[in-house]
Amino acid sequence: MSSFLAISPAATIEVTDHGAVINGPLTKDEWVEAITTLRDVHHNYLKALGDVVGYGIDNFGAEVVGQNIEQLEFSLSDANAALGIAKLSYDFKSAYPLTSEHYLILSKVATEELKEEWAQIAVKHKLSALELKRSIEAGEILTNEEISNNSGLGAGITTIEGTLFQFQQWKQRVGEDNIIDLPRTNKLELLEKLQPFIELAAKVSESLED
């Protein structure tokens, strides 16, 4: 399956499963435009996917959208993120220039008024996605330093909050997409390290059904 980027009347770039094929000559400026477009597509992928998914839900229904997301084999994390971000309007995202992680967090806020309030706070105070999440949970603005202190980090105290904070910091630093794209051997090694957490979560989940 191929997609095309129209760079000029005389040139296009065909993106295939194997890479990119440049059809027609490119000037230096057109080449710069092409790599800029690819960078922007990568950077704004989940935001754009959310808008397109939202359009699909509005015009064709959630069932059709769900069927096509499954058939096209989107990753579960991307699908969930897009479905969340789809709840926010394009105008909202234009008014509050934040990351897709911020928008996913804001999509879970109860009311439109609170969404606006926390989006304003995130922009004004330049909160990271993790800071925004923790601030919403606490009902007050928290910085990474305050989150660290509240989690028991640096005090010799091991808490689930501190462990979660370190995990979130690691995931944010590495990037979820990079984790998903790890070689198979690295994924298996990561799964082995995560297994104690997975097993505990499963046991807690089972206990809720008793």
Residues 6+ apart with CB under 8 A from 110: none
**Three-state DSSP class for residue 128:** coil
pLDDT confidence of residue 13 = 82
Report which of residues 155 and 186 the model is more confident about.
Answer: 186
Cα 56 to Cα 67, 69, 83, 129, 172, distances in angstroms: 11, 11, 11, 27, 30
Indicate whether 180 pLDDT > 90: no
**Span 17-44, mean pLDDT?**
87
How many angstroms separate the CA atoms of 78 and 50, rounded?
9
How many angstroms separate the CA atoms of 172 and 92, rounded?
24
* Nearest by Cα to 199 from 188, 191, 189: 191
pLDDT confidence of residue 157 = 45
**Span 75-79, mean pLDDT?**
85
**178-199 residues labelled b (16+ CB within 10 A) or e (exposed):** eeeeeeeeeeeeeeeeeeeeee
Q: Is the dihedral of CA 79, 77, 99, 178 positive or negative?
A: negative
190-209 pLDDT per residue, tens: 888 888 888 888 888 888 87
Indicate whether 34 pLDDT > 60: yes
**Span 74-89, mean pLDDT?**
88
Q: What is the token pair recorded at 68?
A: 């096509």
pLDDT confidence of residue 59 = 96
pLDDT band for 161, please (50, 70, 90 cuts): low
137-146 pLDDT per residue, tens: 888 888 766 6
pLDDT band for 152, please (50, 70, 90 cuts): very low
**Three-state DSSP class for residue 102:** helix
Indicate whether 115 pLDDT > 90: yes
How many angstroms separate the CA atoms of 156 and 118, rounded?
32
How many angstroms separate the CA atoms of 119 and 109, rounded?
10
Q: What is the mean pLDDT of the chain?
A: 83
82-112 pLDDT per residue, tens: 889 999 999 999 999 999 999 999 998 988 9
pLDDT band for 154, please (50, 70, 90 cuts): very low
**Span 141-156, mean pLDDT?**
58
**77-106 residues labelled b (16+ CB within 10 A) or e (exposed):** ebbebbbbbbbbeeebbeebebbbbbbbbb
How many angstroms separate the CA atoms of 167 and 160, rounded?
10
